[in-house]
Structure 1
Amino acid sequence: TGAGKRVSIYDIQPQMWTYERTAEGGRTPYRAFVSIPGHLYENFNRPNYRAILLRGIAWAGRRPNVDALLNENELGDNLRYVDGGPVHPARAAETIEVHPEFDLSLVAAEPLISKAMNIDWDEKGRLWVSETPEYPNGRRALNTAAWKDSGSLQPAAQTRDPEDSISILSDSDGDGVMDRKHVFADKLELVTGFVLYKSGVIAATSPDIWFLEDTNGDEVADRRTKLYTGLGIVDTHAVINNLRWGLDGWVYATHGYSTGMVTSPDGTKEFGRDGSGVVRFKPDGSAFEQYSSRNGNTWGLDITWDGQVFWTQPTSGTVLFHTVLPEHVLAKGRLPATTSGNGMITGQKTFPLMSWPEQAYVQIDQVGQFTAAAGCAIYEGGAWPDEWRYAYFTGEPTLNIVHHQFVIPEGVSYTTRKELGREDTEFIRSRDLWFRPIETRVGPDGALYVVDFYNQAVIHNDTRGPLHGPANAAVRPDRDHYFARIWRVQHKRAAKLDVPVLDRTDLPSLIRTMETSPNAHVKGTAWRLARENHASDARVAAMSRPMGSRALALYEEARVATTVADRTALLDTFAAASDNWTRSAIVAAASGQEPAYIEAAFTHQEPEGLGDLVGAIAPGALPDHASRLLILAAGAGPSARALKLPVVRAIARMEGGSIPVDAATTQALQTLLDSPDTGAVVLPVIAKWDKAGALRTAAERRSRGFLTELNSAGTSGERGVDLAASLIAVPERRAEVLGVIGSMLADPALADALKTRLLATLGEQAGSDVDALLVASLARTNSTPIFDQIVRRPEASLALLAALKDGTISAARLGPGNLARLRTHPDRKVASQAAASLDSLTAAGGKPDIIAALLPEVEKPGDAERGKALFTGACAGCHRLGDLGTSDVGPPLNGMGAHGRAELLAHIVDPNREVDPSFWQWNVTTKKGETFVGVIASENAAGITLRSPAGDVEIRKEDIATRENTRLSLMPEGLEGLGGEALRDILTFLAGGDQKFRLVDLRTAYTADSRRGFRREEDRDETVTLHRFGDVTVEGVPFFVMDPARSSTGANFIALKGGPGQGSLSDEFPQRVEIATSVTAASLHFLGGVGGWAWPAGGDQARGKPAMKVLVQFADGTSEEHVLRSGEHFADAWSYADVPLSTNAGDFTRRGQLRYFALNLGKSGALS
């Protein structure tokens, strides 16, 4: 080997290598093959080991055929399906546990198919499948050695044709298992979804979408038409996926965070960005748009026969979404913070068949919940009992489960619940570590179909720090490109549905199928065929199917409302609505009719409930109708106060255009000025638009009175904030009002919500005087909202840096998070000055050095209660953990303690080592010069919602000057500045939570295998004959029982030296074991309490004798010893005798018993 590194047969470690060398003077090189296996001798006789050993001998002996020494049992399936590896398809069902009401059967597997990703059925009932052996890298060039990265099917041949395909499967012998495959389209690269269309399919192979067409009837695609290009592909598991037909003739799909700029194939037409959530496009290549936007990877879509759009999002903590209002509606108007989708199944605990010690991976995020949910099926199959209608199914491949919940109507959307009596289990779960369910669909026969990507490798984008390859997949050597399974799940009492063969030319038959079939897939296929082949027939138009929620239906109805009566009825609906989707639907429908709706609101019988509507739509009526609205507001009575204020405020904030201040408008302004309700809010309008000065004297008099009121001791709260917001726009009062605002911001009695309004008012004002006030207020209060307002303003940020430099504000007081925001400020001048000046104020040191220095400190026992308080103050503004935190700025942290303190510390100190693209920081600068940073929570054609610790900010695209993806984490660097003690306590809280019990990991202490006897190995009944494994609960206490088949050493419990002697195996057990732990405990709970030859087997003389000693060492150096005695704590393992200090644990053994007991420690403390 290179670099002077050598291997040696004298190294005491498992190893395997070859050696070839030509001796000096020799002509033929000699060869050596070396294999030194580990100690588990069972492996020596496995076919796979024998095969490689005999192949090595044949190679060393220069046999031309290296398989020459092998027999049939050492080749073929015996070599492919080995113990501990993939399970043969014929035996795979044995590893899968299914809901007891259902049967599971295999539909297709390798070698017929490889790496199946999506399925669908055509009008003949035939199963189509897309296969992606190219996943994840495709033909991209590797960025590391080929042996390290198995993400490419053929890493050395990137100029080759790609090998993904779409095929038709058939069952020639009627046994239910597919045995023939006809390839419809080959040479595809990374196909992640398709729909059947006309005489072919529309397929997604990012960055392109293709129509693959059969023009001559041989069921082979001979014409390929690119419909769209430019789709995002930076991460191949976050691209467009799961294509589905909508009832409106659009193709819908889910989409991950790999965003691009979608265009026509020739680039002449731009359709906009393709972002996370749901997208849709027309099959003729004419339109592509975002349908539902939500930050996070998204994989799984279903559209029901009544037009509801449901989708699965793996990584956000909320699994299932229902699109209530699409983005094209929200782009026309909405109430603040209204999102497109309604999220369900949030923070759902999972119940895999294997406990975490048995699983191959610790989930990267959302540990114990959903981190990679894939697939979305809403059951409308028509074959199962009625209670299963609208049941939701999704896979979680990292945990080898398929999850189920019932979907129940609630308002304009839905809610979900688990099946009663099965709250603590899953619909399907497996012990096979290769079982990876990534797709769920309901077929035309009424069964649920599950696509199993069958791969030992899972986790594409591993954010824990490993090298990532060209498709943003973690580099690893063990990704599979061969195996695949498709499973059929059918209810035991399912009605038998005959799958019809539909004739696309027979419209009456298609209509009859839509009217009578109980199966939504069959109905949908008939509807597609009717649209494709009979679009001009009036009967097809008459059967038009609705798409979307009740809120969307209301929008469609409202947007064509043209009469006063129609608008009044919609205003009644708005006032009565309890959800913002219904209210936003009416706001959006009013787009283009704003003056008419505002007039209708002012004449409504109950205008007080319509203020939000008027406030949302008034800007759309400006500037053209400003005078008209002022006159309308001035003429309204006192009951319309809730409408007058938002109208006048909208006009005060109006930018661009002008207000023709004629006599009627002047009179309206005078009336509003004289009114106690509107006198203050109209001052900015007069100051800005009364160019002739007709109202100057009256306005000056009123502003003087308002200023006196503002300065009076009795004016505070909302009235004071309203007055300040109005008076600051009057140039003559500005300086004095700024002083009052400074005092109000420093007033601890003023509510935070009102301070936020004051800061928003300051944000609308330019000028160095405002910058100085903000910096001075920060120095007095160290308020996070004030800092947020400062960093929006480049000049204020520079003023803050000057204050840091001259010592007015200390870097320590500002904190590492805020310092990092200055260093990464979108304004280059601010960022460069911050980097230069802050380096001298903060400690230096490389990340690895900092982590190495802190690790010994954070590994010590910490204070979880103090850690919770620190987490609440420093972390909960961005992260959710249990019931802490209110925002999804960063990823949720539920279960993250399972990753251990060292890994978590690395992410805290170095948050940019690996960043989930869902949480990339975006820098946005507006045309006014304001700067914003955050993650993009949602986006549509009209604007983006930027999420940061300061809250959500909606920014219209027409106001954006620049937007930059930093590819950095919004989590600040420099958090090591919190100090080792604080970080230790935070990590203690993260790792411990509020759990009453903590499992102690015994894996390093196991000494015995429950499959082997104590006296002689073959006496398998003379041991603790365990037959129940995994997570168990005894008397309310959780334990984990290791399955020896899953143990890395084969050992699965602790047995210590003892027994009859005479050469028994029990003599070889150790006398003592040590178990390192860092838990804090007041008691220890044991599952065991049995011994070979313990009382009563040893007679009465055995009663009271020490069976085991437990020495507990505390972190403070103290210790205590507990003696466990035969006949008191311990009983004979092979009898059912009772003893007073332990209890029978229940059914754990084939023979004899297992017992439970607890030891109360002398004190509660941290253990070592």
Structure 2
Amino acid sequence: MPPKSISYPECCFAVFLALFLFSSCGQTPEEELPGFVIHPDFRLEVMAAEPLVMDPVDLQFDAYGRAFVLEMPGYPLRDAESRLILLEDTDQDGQYDRRQVFADKLQLASSFMPYREGFLVAAPPDLLYIRDTDDDRVADDYQVIMSGFSTGNLQHNFNGLTYGLDNWLYAANGGNSGEPYFAVDPELRLDMRGDDFRFQLMPDRVERVGESSGGYGLAFDQWGHMYETHNLEHVSHLVFENRYLEGVPANRRHALTLISDHDENGLSRIYPIGEQESRVNHPEQSGYFSGSCGITFYGGGAFPDGFNDHIFVADVVLNLIHLDVLSPDGAAFKTSRKREKVEFLASTDRAFRPVNLTTGPDGALYVLDIHRDVIEHPEWIPDEIEATLDLNAGKDQGRIYRISPRASTLQSPSALAGMEPEELVKQLANPNQWTRMTAQRLLVEKAAAGSAAPLETLLRSSESPLARLHAMWTLEGLSALNDEILRQALGDAEAGVRENAIRIAEKRLPGSSDWIRSLLEMTKDENARVRMQAALALSTITDEQFQATSEALIDTFQSLLQEEHAGDQWLILATATALKKAALPFTEGLLAGNDKLNDQQLEVARLLNKMIGKTQAPAAVAGLLGKIAASEVIDDAERARWVDGLAAGWSGKGKAGPALVPALESLERNGNTALIRAAGHLREVMGLPVSEKIKSSLAQAKTDLFDNDLSPEERLELLKLTGLDNFERRAEMLYQLLDNRQPLVLQQEALRQLRAENDESIGDELLARWASFGPESRKGAGNILLYKAYNHDRLLSALENGKISLGELNFDLERRRELLFSEDAAIRTRAEALFSDAGVVTRKVAMDKMRPALDLKGNVAAGKEVFGTLCGTCHRYGATGQDVGPVLTEIQRKSKASLLHDILDPNAAVDTKYLSHRVQTKNGDIYVGIVEQETDAEITLKMLGGQAVQIPKQEVETFASLGQSLMPEGLEAGMSEQDLADLLAFLQQEII
């Protein structure tokens, strides 16, 4: 409610005037904030700074347009509680100038949202409701609404409180999870597992939504689609809720998916400005998203064309804000860079820590900068590095910035809190998402008796699709949406309205089967998301409804899968969920009613076979096996996949009895290796004895497996078949297949089978053969040694005696901690003698000697000469040098200290693909270089100077890793401190 000292009309006028002034002020291009670079079409303004605001992590505007900021001084040391402050612009100059503590003692809250006449606050272990009941601008009513949320690492507390389009309240799990419960009923708890959740109050309801990214922030686009972020994976999309997959044994257990089209090998390059700091962990992530947070869908409606309805993500580590263009990708979405090699906003201020973003009622984008020297949580900072850092630096600081377009003024928002229902209904057509959502929330909260009629009028006649959308959900929130209007919405011209109408119609299915026919028609919609949502809705029908409509359901989806557009992975999964009650008849119908099956039919059938294995009795499974064996619609490879699906679904059900044996024997008589293996696997999970056919096939497979006249694919099937045998009888064969002259697919399958066993002798064998492994096999073997605790003693011995070099194990932070944090004190002690939590250093003396170079001013031109002399034979930087080792064109993303370590200690943690290898051919030729490519037929080595040589594997006598980087140690012997400073200056110049 408005401040006690200001009447409501005066408050509205003050807010209006302040926002109007905001829209007319700001820097010119010549007055840009120092240290910041923003897209040229936008301006950046400081709206508040310390001491007015400190440690800000969330900003929300209440229904009067007032700005409330949540401060979190307790991050990361838990030494202070969060507080909620009200910011005001008393002199109406366009910047905040008065601070009022509205609520304190909010535990370690990191998220809040306006709700009714107060706020909901995520304050683990509680969800609080706070409000001011006596109009003195200080909260005096604190209520615990829910409790049971876990606490721990503050980065992983539940957060992202958001009012959803469907009138539910949403929150991100954050990673700590917990078992929340309503304070009025502590016995009824929800196990959050790893999911985000949503809840309602009055009446109290809470439920899981779907797999959580584990990050900070949630975002919803204008149609209610949910997006998330976490560290490396900067933008993920929850395609649909987990509840649709319950009971469906799909390989994909959730529908959260990374949608960035600019990720490579799990990392997405971003472009900070200024000299970068040394990372306290994971130096390989320098210059890539690693601290993404504050994901925000911009629906403010005030930005220029090309900037609306897209997603902004902050990276708190690299001091920037990234803009992703959102576009459809089948039934899901994808995001693409707005501009190449430059960010929307970046700063040279290493203490600029944008943790969150908010779209305001004026259409501007607000940035919350917690402003800390150190942002990483101590859990992920090695102790010896943490001892040199001041984790409190910046605790008395904080900034709020506003981003607005240069070429236009911001819209003038209205204070919504005092509007009559008819006025609020009109606001549902506002171009600003904040205004639409706030108006909808107020209408639902007030349950105003007079709002239904104007809402119906808006839904029937508005030219704005978004107005129709909000009118529909507001009516639903008021329990006033009748069936006639909902059916009209199912035929709306806008796909987003139709999709949301299906979500509402789904809720009405249990009470009436009349909706099933309408939803069956919606599976033919031209829009991919509408088709998918209709299939998902149909998956929720009751058993009784299914019995009455199964024929129409099967016919509809048979036709749907004939369409070319049905190949979308999400529609395939949705179709399988809709057919879960019809899995057996649908699958049998595919075999009986088609001359040929397309890819989507086959993929749905594979999913349904898992359902059949999970739910059907042995007699039904036996009948299907007979049809699979006799069908001419699928080939042997596909038969094997279907049988594998049955086995995957059956696994864990127990014994099947002998009734299935004849059907299995008919499959085994086929003679196809993959099919025999699949039948053997099904026997195994059903507890049936191994047949004579499988026994004889196993014996033959061990002989044929080493027949080089067979293709690698044929040999791979033989190897998979041998996996049915006891480990003791195939162990030696698996070790022989790790020879680097064997096809890569065989090496990988052999390692997979070895890792599946828990036999301690495997570690000894891997170490004995280590030098002969190629790059791919070394990765797999190294993982077996590192991630099987009983191998730690032998692994450390190999590291201590030099059998394995430290650089060969890719000892990043988490991999080092497997040994450094071992439960065995002796293992910890030995690991600490090799490396520390801070990293791997093998040439400390050399690095200490040259460290003064970090403080010298370097000369780029002189550094280019040093590079050409010492580095150019192996590395390329821009147009200089040879492309043998890693290309260094973007190496400036690393700090000088990190570059010094890479140059002087090249074997400390070398990427295994740049290890030096020695190949000797059968005629005595010797080649030494980096493995550029390894295929089943040949090895391509790149040698010093850039020369490449292709060596057929049939001519290889020995192929061994030298365990060292091709880059030699001791480069400092040819450099002075100034030479090194010059080289560092050259490597840190900007290359465009």
Give TM-score scaled by structure 2 length.
Answer: 0.64
Unmatched 5+ residue regions in structure 1?
1-86, 140-151, 153-161, 870-879, 885-891, 912-977, 990-999, 1001-1073, 1088-1168
DSSP-derived class of the 2:745 partner: helix
Change (3 A) 1:761 1:524: same
Q: In structure 2, how many angstroms separate the alpha carbons of the residues matched to 1:721 and 1:852?
A: 41
Tell me the equivalent position of 2:861. Answer: none
DSSP-derived class of the 1:204 partner: strand
Q: In structure 1, how many angstroms separate the alpha carbons of the residues matched to 2:746 and 2:424?
A: 61
Tell me the equivalent position of 1:632. Answer: 624
From 613, 623, 632, the equivalent of 1:622 is: 613
Alignment of 1:248 onto 2:166: yes
Q: In structure 1, how many angstroms separate the alpha carbons of the residues matched to 2:737 and 2:680?
A: 21
Q: CA deviation at 1:537?
A: 2.7
From 721, 725, 738, the equivalent of 1:726 is: 721
Q: CA deviation at 1:200?
A: 1.8
Change (3 A) 1:586 1:1077: farther
Q: In structure 1, how many angstroms separate the alpha carbons of the residues matched to 2:780 and 2:342?
A: 48
Tell me the equivalent position of 2:358. Answer: 441
Alignment of 1:378 onto 2:292: no
Q: In structure 2, how many angstroms separate the alpha carbons of the residues matched to 1:120 and 1:910?
A: 47
Tell me the equivalent position of 1:1078. Answer: 980
From 670, 684, 690, the equivalent of 1:675 is: 670
Tell me the equivalent position of 1:124. Answer: 64
Indicate if the aligned counterparts of 2:785 and 2:795 stay in contact, CA closer than 8 A.
no
Indicate if the aligned counterparts of 1:558 and 1:570 stay in contact, CA closer than 8 A.
no
Of residues 196-205 and 210-219 in structure 1, the stretch that sits farther from structure 2 once superposed is: 210-219
Q: In structure 2, how many angstroms separate the alpha carbons of the residues matched to 1:747 and 1:429?
A: 47
Change (3 A) 1:539 1:865: same
Change (3 A) 1:905 1:634: farther
Query: Which residues in structure 2 correspond to 1:914-993 (within 5 Å)?
Result: 982=965, 985=968
Equivalent AA in structure 2 for residue 204 of structure 1: A
Tell me the equivalent position of 2:480. Answer: 538
Larger proportion of helix? 2
Query: Which residues in structure 2 correspond to 1:19-58 (within 5 Å)?
Result: none
Q: CA deviation at 1:564?
A: 0.8
Tell me the equivalent position of 2:778. Answer: 784
DSSP-derived class of the 2:846 partner: helix
Tell me the equivalent position of 1:684. Answer: 680
Alignment of 1:324 onto 2:236: no
Indicate if the aligned counterparts of 2:209 and 2:242 stay in contact, CA closer than 8 A.
yes
Alignment of 1:341 onto 2:341: no
Q: Between Structure 1 and Structure 2, how many residues are aligned?
A: 783
DSSP-derived class of the 1:478 partner: coil
Q: CA deviation at 1:247?
A: 1.8
Q: In structure 1, how many angstroms separate the alpha carbons of the residues matched to 2:189 and 2:577?
A: 25
Change (3 A) 1:853 1:447: closer
Indicate if the aligned counterparts of 2:175 and 2:212 stay in contact, CA closer than 8 A.
no
Equivalent AA in structure 1 for residue 749 of structure 2: R
Equivalent AA in structure 2 for residue 116 of structure 1: P
DSSP-derived class of the 2:633 partner: helix
Q: CA deviation at 1:380?
A: 1.9
Change (3 A) 1:312 1:848: closer
Alignment of 1:900 onto 2:814: no
DSSP-derived class of the 1:446 partner: coil
Q: In structure 1, how many angstroms separate the alpha carbons of the residues matched to 2:787 and 2:76?
A: 43
Equivalent AA in structure 2 for residue 556 of structure 1: L
Give TM-score scaled by structure 1 length.
Answer: 0.55
Indicate if the aligned counterparts of 2:85 and 2:103 stay in contact, CA closer than 8 A.
yes
Equivalent AA in structure 2 for residue 633 of structure 1: L
Tell me the equivalent position of 2:216. Answer: 299
DSSP-derived class of the 1:118 partner: strand
Change (3 A) 1:412 1:396: same
Equivalent AA in structure 1 for residue 361 of structure 2: P
Q: In structure 1, how many angstroms separate the alpha carbons of the residues matched to 2:841 and 2:692?
A: 67
RMSD: 5.7
Indicate if the aligned counterparts of 1:461 and 1:468 stay in contact, CA closer than 8 A.
no
Change (3 A) 1:618 1:747: farther
Indicate if the aligned counterparts of 2:314 and 2:354 stay in contact, CA closer than 8 A.
yes
Indicate if the aligned counterparts of 1:231 and 1:274 stay in contact, CA closer than 8 A.
no
Query: Which residues in structure 2 correspond to 1:854-893 (within 5 Å)?
Result: 854-856=844-846
Equivalent AA in structure 2 for residue 447 of structure 1: A
Change (3 A) 1:715 1:233: same
Q: CA deviation at 1:533?
A: 3.8
Change (3 A) 1:482 1:743: closer
Indicate if the aligned counterparts of 2:245 and 2:253 stay in contact, CA closer than 8 A.
no
Change (3 A) 1:741 1:687: farther
Q: CA deviation at 1:303?
A: 1.1
Once the two structures are superposed, residues 490-544 of structure 1 have per-residue CA deviations (whole angstroms, 9 ceiling, x without a partner) of: 44324744425256872x5544432x22111111112223333434432399589
Change (3 A) 1:536 1:658: same
Indicate if the aligned counterparts of 1:329 and 1:588 stay in contact, CA closer than 8 A.
yes
Alignment of 1:526 onto 2:506: no
Tell me the equivalent position of 1:137. Answer: 77
Query: Which residues in structure 2 correspond to 1:344-423 (within 5 Å)?
Result: 344=260, 346=263, 355-356=274-275, 366-368=285-287, 370-396=289-315, 401-417=320-336, 423=340
Tell me the equivalent position of 1:166. Answer: 84
Once the two structures are superposed, residues 326-349 of structure 1 have per-residue CA deviations (whole angstroms, 9 ceiling, x without a partner) of: 555567554469872324254666
Q: CA deviation at 1:195?
A: 1.1
Indicate if the aligned counterparts of 1:866 and 1:986 stay in contact, CA closer than 8 A.
no
Indicate if the aligned counterparts of 1:724 and 1:737 stay in contact, CA closer than 8 A.
no
Query: Which residues in structure 2 correspond to 1:69-218 (within 5 Å)?
Result: 99-104=39-44, 107-109=47-49, 112-139=52-79, 162=81, 164-171=82-89, 174-178=92-96, 183-213=101-131
From 591, 596, 605, the equivalent of 1:602 is: 591
Q: CA deviation at 1:241?
A: 3.5
Query: Which residues in structure 2 correspond to 1:773-852 (within 5 Å)?
Result: 781=773, 783-784=777-778, 787=781, 812-816=802-806, 835=827, 851=841
Indicate if the aligned counterparts of 1:398 and 1:436 stay in contact, CA closer than 8 A.
yes
Q: In structure 1, how many angstroms separate the alpha carbons of the residues matched to 2:654 and 2:280?
A: 61
Tell me the equivalent position of 2:474. Answer: none
DSSP-derived class of the 2:69 partner: strand
Alignment of 1:487 onto 2:487: no
Unmatched 5+ residue regions in structure 2?
1-26, 448-476, 490-496, 504-527, 542-549, 851-865, 877-884, 910-960
Tell me the equivalent position of 2:555. Answer: 565
Indicate if the aligned counterparts of 1:327 and 1:340 stay in contact, CA closer than 8 A.
no
Change (3 A) 1:135 1:567: same
Q: In structure 2, how many angstroms separate the alpha carbons of the residues matched to 1:730 and 1:882?
A: 46
Once the two structures are superposed, residues 331-385 of structure 1 have per-residue CA deviations (whole angstroms, 9 ceiling, x without a partner) of: 7554469872324254666666x7329x999998544555545433332222334
Q: In structure 2, how many angstroms separate the alpha carbons of the residues matched to 1:201 and 1:92?
A: 35
Indicate if the aligned counterparts of 2:278 and 2:894 stay in contact, CA closer than 8 A.
no
Change (3 A) 1:849 1:722: closer
Query: Which residues in structure 2 correspond to 1:497-512 (within 5 Å)?
Result: 497-499=412-414, 501-502=416-417, 506=421, 509-512=423-426
From 521, 533, 555, the equivalent of 1:553 is: 533
Q: CA deviation at 1:763?
A: 5.7
Equivalent AA in structure 2 for residue 1078 of structure 1: L
Indicate if the aligned counterparts of 1:394 and 1:402 stay in contact, CA closer than 8 A.
yes
Change (3 A) 1:361 1:376: same
Once the two structures are superposed, residues 262-296 of structure 1 have per-residue CA deviations (whole angstroms, 9 ceiling, x without a partner) of: 56668645534576x9665555764364734447x
Indicate if the aligned counterparts of 2:321 and 2:343 stay in contact, CA closer than 8 A.
yes
Q: CA deviation at 1:1077?
A: 2.6
Q: CA deviation at 1:692?
A: 9.4
Once the two structures are superposed, residues 845-876 of structure 1 have per-residue CA deviations (whole angstroms, 9 ceiling, x without a partner) of: 9999995853316977996589889xxxxxxx
Change (3 A) 1:453 1:658: closer
Change (3 A) 1:607 1:774: farther
Once the two structures are superposed, residues 655-714 of structure 1 have per-residue CA deviations (whole angstroms, 9 ceiling, x without a partner) of: 443454566x34322321222447523552686599998x95666666667677657664
Once the two structures are superposed, residues 135-169 of structure 1 have per-residue CA deviations (whole angstroms, 9 ceiling, x without a partner) of: 44343xxxxxxxxxxxx6xxxxxxxxx4x432444
Tell me the equivalent position of 1:649. Answer: 644
